[in-house]
Chains A and B, each alone.
Chain A
Amino acid sequence: MRFWAPAAIAYVVLLSAPAHAEVTPVDLQIAARALGFMERPLSGNVRLGIVFDPADQRSAGDATAIAKLLGDGVTAGNLVFKPVLMDINQAMTAPIDAFFLPVGIKDHGMKISKATASRKLPCITLNIGQVQDGNCVLGIQVLPKIEIYLSRAAAEGSDITFVPVFRMMVTEF
């Protein structure tokens, strides 16, 4: 892949969700189904930590809007995502089962990366660049065609493995 890195980066930049991209329940349903292909899949109620930066009012607003959109939860397969607002500074301790990295959280990828690796928790985002940088395990794109991106480094760091058939169907970085 390294020989194609410039093209790959350009391609991913084109595909990356814009900063103002809005999360929809469908994004989370796709994410939930994707997590069903983990070797040790999550199931039941899963507390989804929606990350925000308290120093950035817009970030807090985005996270609140996403949590409101998800309401009591989003169900897909055997899993129900229960939204929980999570301060980026509490990434190491907040009582959650998975991270959701909104597009607006651009400068805290490393913090999340360390937290997911330390806590062995999956991270989901619509910002494919965060996946390519190895900060987040799963990237979801729904329109115009569903695409799933997987960071091998982030997955290995978090001790998360996916079944082989899933890995063969997604784009791995």
Chain B
Amino acid sequence: MPMHRTVARFRSLGSVAPVRRVALAAAILGSLAGPQATAQDIDYQALEQLFGEPVTSSATGKPQRASNVPANMEIITQDDIRRSGATSIPDALQFVTGVDVQRYGIADAEVGIRGYNQPYNPRLLVLVNGRQVYSDDYGHVSWPTIPVQLAEIRQIEVIKGPNSALYGFNAVGGVINIVTYDPLHDRVNSATLQGGTQNYLGGSVVGSGRIGDNAGVRVSAGGIQARDFGSGTLSSSDASNRDLSPQIGNFNIDARARVAPGVEAFAEASMGDSRYAEKNFSGTFETVSARTNSLRAGVNADTGIGLLSLSAYRNEQLIAVTDTTLNGLPAWVSENVYVVQASDLVKLGSDHTVRVGLEYRNNAATAPGFLHGSIGYEVYAASLMWDWAIAPGLELTNAVRVDDLHLSYAGTPAAGSGFTVGDYNHAGFAVPSFNSGLVFAATDKDTLRLIVARGVQVPSLVDFGIQGSAGQYGPLVVAGNPDIHPSTVDNVELDYDRAMPSIGSTLRTALFAQRTQDIISEPFAVPPVVGPSGLPLFLAGNVGSSDAVGVEIGLKGHSDSGYRWNASYAFVATTNDTVLNQGAVDTSPIDYAHSAPRHVVTAGIGYTRDKVELDLMGRWQSSYLDFQATGPSIVLEPVEIRNYVTLNARVGYRLTENLTLALTAQQFNTSRLLQAAGPPVDRRFLASATAHF
């Protein structure tokens, strides 16, 4: 059975003796260092004005022009966000080449990159200025709880493919790095009020200011309330679990100060309170109430031995679930994660830039109902990035990262699972990942990028430690698996970019092949085995592999006369080789061969003149397969989501120097559209007023 093989292989990794672990860690600390997307430590605006294109430091730690990054990165600028009429980050992502957005409600959406989308998609790493905003409990992203207002985003960086060595684990499908304006360098002051169909009412305020010559602060707050899409053909159980009145509120404050020549300190704090319906990892609907907060502080120093960075943050969240099928189970999870990161970025001579980094992570989730206690892990990570300017126009970047994970559990394992507390507390593994990118500017117009990478997806805390004793979910036993091991994604990619100044455009193409091994599945989806108690045992596990190949072609440009345009085509073909959904009924929403559209075409055209902005965006995608529950059980049925076209439009008018009015129509070409196995998405009209001061 594949499970046995994978467990055996895992043990060979996970049974590293403590002494060897220390030696390994020492060796790593002595020779490696780790990159992670850093906080804002460069003046993006000044560098963008200098080079005439977006600048990022997230990929390698060193500031780079978007066109020189040794990864496939697309950058959505603040202008792009505004012109899209987006009311959420997934809205802004849905027209990016290779990005798949499955909408399960007015507030709930799943975002996948290059296929592999699913409810509670665990293959996406989402960061805000380098701070993780995905949850370790299920390894997924609750987009409404991200404490960022769209108006304070400088750019959203979409990095496709596995990038664990550059960004950290879970960067397997890709990374979304949200970069906000720098309170020290950027002045952003705005207030936006929006209203529209579905009783939508939203507002946000962003204010920033200087404190003396050497400090700045930015504060933001915002929220929405609305009437969610009707439940359509969802089962009565799913329909009753959906609260149709989503409410979302978030607050954030960032401060940055130049405390000495070449030394900057920063601090960030956020909190949020949200309630909305969502589709969960098992493919059923529920309503969650989420209270979140975060604290972060750090310092960056330009020293004789390089740019030193040290930062620490804590994320905390309390999630309460409303789900009538849980039969009175205490349905809440509290979770926190502490992360400390240190790095040194140094340029050696004229041709070599090196970044060494260390990271410590400590997380825990507590849930008396789902986990019968608390489960968490510590991770010691070290990484090294080496960027070599081999010759003008030829640059090689190599990065390697090693994560050493130690699991811990305090609670009562499900009776009949056969696991003891000791089994959980002795579990762990060390896992490497790497990225290599060769960027070759063949001519002053043509750039080739060859990328080879291995990404790592760590099992979620629920995969490690969910517990359900006999009777809790029926005559069966459910258990997290301390022996589960990471999933890996290998990627080979060739990109070709061509500048076309004669038509003001840039052509971007990508050809890639991926192999995912040891796919991780939550326990309800895995075929049960007979447990020690004689009852069926549902165990989270590694369930197989999948291959994917794909092509992306995109053209984007603008003219001096005020026109802008973009068009793209993305193709991805994916295979399944798993033990899932092999029985009489389907139990898993994982069906990678069919769970994302193979063909996607996007196009957009816009025009700006004087006080008016006009934009029209369209997306066509081929059919794909999603799953929905048939009732209050774990049985799912496939739902074919037919190919569809969706069209959005926005008109903006600058009424005065400080006040802009806008009308946005989302999916104006059809009144109701099934975009996923969820509620049909309704046509939306929104009006907004934005004041800049």
The answer for the CA separation of A171 and B501 in the assembled complex, in Å, is: 22
Complex contact B350–A172 (CB within 8 A): yes
| Total A-B Cβ pairs within 8 A | 74
By a CB distance below 8 angstroms, the chain A residues around B64 are 168-169
Complex contact B347–A33 (CB within 8 A): no
Given contacts A77-B46, A165-B63, contact A8 B392 (CB under 8 A): yes
Complex contact A169–B390 (CB within 8 A): no
The answer for the CA separation of A33 and B350 in the assembled complex, in Å, is: 21
The answer for the CA separation of A36 and B47 in the assembled complex, in Å, is: 10
Given contacts A164-B347, A168-B353, A169-B63, contact A30 B50 (CB under 8 A): yes
The answer for the CA separation of A156 and B241 in the assembled complex, in Å, is: 69
By a CB distance below 8 angstroms, the chain A residues around B350 are 1, 152, 172-173
B393 at the interface (CB under 8 A from A): yes
Complex contact B445–A168 (CB within 8 A): no
Q: Which residue of A lies closest to B41 (CB)?
A: A165
A146 at the interface (CB under 8 A from B): yes
CB < 8 Å neighbour of B52 from A12, A146, A167: A146
CB < 8 Å neighbour of A11 from B47, B63, B392: B392
B687 at the interface (CB under 8 A from A): no
From residue A150, how far is it (CB to closest CB) to chain B in Å? 8
CB < 8 Å neighbour of A163 from B55, B57, B302, B389: B302
Q: Which residue of B lies closest to A141 (CB)?
A: B444
Residues in B321-348 with C-beta less than 8 Å from chain A: 345, 347
Given contacts A11-B392, A11-B393, contact A146 B50 (CB under 8 A): yes
Which secondary structure dominates chain B's binding surface? Answer: mixed
Residues in A1-50 with C-beta less than 8 Å from chain B: 1, 4, 7-8, 11-12, 15, 30, 33-34, 36-37
B260 at the interface (CB under 8 A from A): no
By a CB distance below 8 angstroms, the chain A residues around B394 are 4
Given contacts A8-B391, A15-B444, contact A1 B351 (CB under 8 A): yes
Given contacts A1-B351, A168-B347, A169-B65, contact A15 B392 (CB under 8 A): yes
By a CB distance below 8 angstroms, the chain A residues around B62 are 165, 168-169
Given contacts A4-B390, A11-B392, A11-B393, contact A165 B42 (CB under 8 A): yes
Complex contact A165–B391 (CB within 8 A): no
Given contacts A7-B391, A11-B392, A163-B302, contact A168 B63 (CB under 8 A): yes
Residues in A120-173 with C-beta less than 8 Å from chain B: 143-146, 148, 152, 163-169, 171-173
Complex contact A171–B51 (CB within 8 A): no
B499 at the interface (CB under 8 A from A): yes
B307 at the interface (CB under 8 A from A): yes
Given contacts A146-B51, A164-B347, contact A171 B389 (CB under 8 A): yes
By a CB distance below 8 angstroms, the chain B residues around A172 are 350-351, 389
The answer for the CA separation of A152 and B351 in the assembled complex, in Å, is: 11
Residues in B413-448 with C-beta less than 8 Å from chain A: 444-445
By a CB distance below 8 angstroms, the chain A residues around B47 are 165-166, 169
From residue B139, how far is it (CB to closest CB) to chain A in Å? 33
Residues in B43-58 with C-beta less than 8 Å from chain A: 46-47, 49-52, 55, 57
The answer for the CA separation of A4 and B345 in the assembled complex, in Å, is: 25
Complex contact B49–A33 (CB within 8 A): yes
Digitize B665-692: 1 where CB-to-A-CB distance is under 8 Å, 0 elsewhere.
Answer: 0000000000000000000000000000
B235 at the interface (CB under 8 A from A): no
The answer for the CA separation of A36 and B454 in the assembled complex, in Å, is: 39
From residue A124, how far is it (CB to closest CB) to chain B in Å? 14
Given contacts A144-B501, A145-B444, contact A171 B50 (CB under 8 A): no
Number of chain B residues close to chain A: CB under 8 A: 32
B67 at the interface (CB under 8 A from A): yes
From residue A26, how far is it (CB to closest CB) to chain B in Å? 10
The answer for the CA separation of A143 and B502 in the assembled complex, in Å, is: 12
Complex contact A144–B351 (CB within 8 A): no
Complex contact B353–A143 (CB within 8 A): no
CB < 8 Å neighbour of A1 from B49, B63, B391: B391
By a CB distance below 8 angstroms, the chain B residues around A152 are 350
The answer for the CA separation of A148 and B47 in the assembled complex, in Å, is: 12
By a CB distance below 8 angstroms, the chain A residues around B50 are 30, 33-34, 37, 146, 148
By a CB distance below 8 angstroms, the chain A residues around B445 are 144-145
The answer for the CA separation of A168 and B68 in the assembled complex, in Å, is: 12
Residue from A15, A145, A163, A167 whose CB has the most chain B CB atoms within 10 Å: A145
Q: Which residue of A lies closest to B306 (CB)?
A: A164
Digitize A34-70: 1 where CB-to-B-CB distance is under 8 Å, 0 elsewhere.
Answer: 1011000000000000000000000000000000000
By a CB distance below 8 angstroms, the chain A residues around B345 are 164, 168
By a CB distance below 8 angstroms, the chain A residues around B63 are 165, 168-169
By a CB distance below 8 angstroms, the chain B residues around A146 are 50-52
From residue A9, how far is it (CB to closest CB) to chain B in Å? 9
By a CB distance below 8 angstroms, the chain B residues around A164 are 302, 306-307, 345, 347
The answer for the CA separation of A7 and B306 in the assembled complex, in Å, is: 30
Residues in B434-492 with C-beta less than 8 Å from chain A: 444-445
By a CB distance below 8 angstroms, the chain A residues around B390 are 4
Q: Which residue of B lies closest to A152 (CB)?
A: B350
From residue A104, how far is it (CB to closest CB) to chain B in Å? 22
By a CB distance below 8 angstroms, the chain A residues around B67 are 145
From residue B505, how far is it (CB to closest CB) to chain A in Å? 12
By a CB distance below 8 angstroms, the chain B residues around A37 are 46, 50
Q: Which residue of A lies closest to B350 (CB)?
A: A172
From residue A39, how far is it (CB to closest CB) to chain B in Å? 9
The answer for the CA separation of A12 and B445 in the assembled complex, in Å, is: 15
Complex contact A143–B52 (CB within 8 A): no
Complex contact B391–A169 (CB within 8 A): no
The answer for the CA separation of A168 and B389 in the assembled complex, in Å, is: 10
The answer for the CA separation of A36 and B51 in the assembled complex, in Å, is: 13
From residue B560, how far is it (CB to closest CB) to chain A in Å? 13
From residue A14, how far is it (CB to closest CB) to chain B in Å? 8
The answer for the CA separation of A33 and B506 in the assembled complex, in Å, is: 25
Residue from B46, B65, B350 whose CB has the most chain A CB atoms within 10 Å: B350
By a CB distance below 8 angstroms, the chain A residues around B55 are 169
From residue B144, how far is it (CB to closest CB) to chain A in Å? 34
The answer for the CA separation of A146 and B47 in the assembled complex, in Å, is: 12
The answer for the CA separation of A30 and B49 in the assembled complex, in Å, is: 8
By a CB distance below 8 angstroms, the chain A residues around B389 are 1, 171-172
Some 16 contacts from A to B, beta carbons below 8 A apart, are A1-B391, A4-B394, A7-B391, A8-B391, A11-B392, A12-B392, A15-B392, A145-B499, A152-B350, A164-B302, A164-B347, A165-B47, A165-B62, A168-B64, A169-B64, A171-B389
Extra contacts, 15 of them, besides A33-B46, A146-B51, A169-B65 (Cβ < 8 A), are: A1-B391, A4-B390, A4-B394, A7-B391, A8-B391, A11-B393, A15-B392, A30-B50, A143-B501, A145-B444, A145-B499, A148-B50, A164-B307, A165-B62, A172-B350
What 3 A-B pairs have minimum CB-CB distances, sorted nearest first?
A172-B350, A4-B391, A33-B50
Give A residues with C-beta under 8 Å from B.
1, 4, 7-8, 11-12, 15, 30, 33-34, 36-37, 77, 143-146, 148, 152, 163-169, 171-173
